[in-house]
Amino acid sequence: MSESSQPDSSIGVLVVEDEAVAARAHAKYIERIDGYHVAGVAKNATQAMAALTGKILGLDPDGIDLVLLDMNLPDGHGLQVCRAIRGQRVDVDIIAVTAARDMQIVQEALSYGVAQYIIKPFTFPVFKSKLDAYSSYRFRLGADCPDGEVTQNEVDTAIAALRTHTVTATPKGVPDGVQGEVRGVLTDKPGQSAAEVATSLGVSRVTARRYLEAMADAGMLERRPRYGSAGRPVLEYTVVEQE
């Protein structure tokens, strides 16, 4: 079992993978994505549950927000880990990273609240898109619901954030010319907020946010929380380079 220490603002991930090469690869992928860090690595189900229940010396289970879970473990199935996590009311989310393609396994994993299901083998862009979607989901629940109560629209928006979007020719409500202006602004200075883009375009913040959200939903922009800023959480946007 290994662990690392990172700022509280980023999402701590417990990698559960018995193959050392795969575990290292997943950890490297995680460290390449802004807003994430590896909280620990477990090589089997027993170590995973020990880490999540505070039984690993030097590893704070409160620092684990997300479990990156392989389904085929030497001492049990990943579904058993899912069942144990939910049964013991461990407050973490789960993303399955596995070669298991059996529909029954997928359905059962989803029934335990698995946020994403990534089938091996996969590329870094696929992996990143799933984690970006997850961080957007977490941000939306936190930023849009400061009082702990939600509207139907906020629930729908948060759940929709988990879906991976494909690029469309023209995002609804965003003319081609405006798309080019937005891309130009964000290419010159990546990671701008809606308010900052609004200033550059000479439009209202609400209008800029509408453009940015439509383009992000279409897969043209990446949205993520801006860490370290005081006050209400802020989303920043970056152009997605198409391969």
pLDDT, residue 166, reads: 46
- 150 occurs within a structural domain: no
pLDDT score of 230? 62
DSSP string, 162-177: TSPPPP-SS-TT--HH
CATH value at residue 212: 1.10.10.10
What does pTM read for this prediction?
0.65
Last residue of a domain, one of 85, 116, 133: 133
Taking 70 as the pLDDT cut, the residues of the chain under it are 1-8, 142-148, 164-170, 228-232, 242-243
At 42 the pLDDT is: 97
| pLDDT in the model for residue 168 | 47
- In this prediction, residue 216 carries a pLDDT of 84
Task: Assess contact for 211 and 182: CB atoms under 8 A.
Answer: yes
Q: Is residue 152 part of a domain?
A: no
* 89 is a domain residue: yes
Report how far residue 127's alpha carbon sits from residue 106's, in angstroms, rounded to the nearest whole number.
18
| Count of structural domains, the chain | 2
Let me know how many helices (H) and strands (E) the chain has, helices first.
9, 10
Q: Single out the residue of 101, 110, 97, 34 nearest to residue 68, CA to CA.
A: 97
Q: Which pair of tokens denotes residue 195?
A: 């308010």
148 found inside a domain: no
Whether residue 173 sits in one domain with residue 77: no
* 120-130: pLDDT as tens digits: 888 788 888 89
Task: Give the tokens for residue 109.
Answer: 């994993």
Q: Are residues 233 and 178 in the same domain?
A: yes
Range of the domain at 191: 165-243
- 177 and 85, same structural domain? no
Domain for residue 138, yes or no? no
Contacting residues for 32 by C-beta, under 8 A, at least 6 apart: 124, 128
187-204 pLDDT, tens digit each: 999 999 999 999 999 999
Contacts of 238 (CB under 8 A, 6+ apart): 186, 190, 191, 221, 222, 224
